[in-house]
Amino acid sequence: MTKARKTILTSLEHAKEPISVSELAKQLSDFCDPATVYRNLHYLENNNLATSFILHCSEHGTERYYSAKGGVEHHHWFHCEHCHRFIDLGGCFYTEQLEQFESEHGFTVNDHTFYLTGICKACKEELGV
C-alpha cells in the first residue's frame, strides 16, 4: 500500500465520526493534494477498507462522508443539523429485517446506508427546544 493510502486510512481509523472529503483534504493538505485524497479514498472503498455515504445538509450542502471499514462493525449515524456532529448509533440491528426483504422480494442485499438527521440533545438545550 502506498504511503498516501496508509496515511489516509490511518486518518479514517482515528476519526471518531465519518469525515467529509473536504475536511480530510484540509487535514492532509501538508501531505497531499485534494486529487490524491479523492483518488485514494476511491481505492480504499473499492478494496473494502473504507465505506462512505452521501449526506445532504441544509448548511453544508451535499457531501460524501467516509469512515474506515477494517474490522469495524457496520454502523449507523445521527447527524445534528445544528452543530453538525455525528453520533454513533452503534452496530447494525437490521439483519432480520434485511433477510425478510431478501426472502419476500427475491433480491440479495450487499450493503445499506442508514442515518438520521435532526437536532441533538445538547443543541436542543442550547436552543431551548
129 — pLDDT class (breaks 50, 70, 90): confident
39 — pLDDT class (breaks 50, 70, 90): very high
Question: Which amino acid appears at position 29 of this protein?
Answer: S
Q: How far apart are CA 125 and CA 84, in angstroms?
A: 15
Read off the pLDDT of residues 113-125 as tens digits, 9 standing for 90 and up.
888 999 999 999 9
Beta bridge partners of 67: 51
**DSSP string spanning 112-123?**
---EEEE--HHH
Indicate if the pLDDT at residue 14 is higher than 90: yes
Domains of the chain plus CATH, in order, are: 1-69 (1.10.10.10), 73-129 (3.30.1490.190)
71 — pLDDT class (breaks 50, 70, 90): low
pTM: 0.81
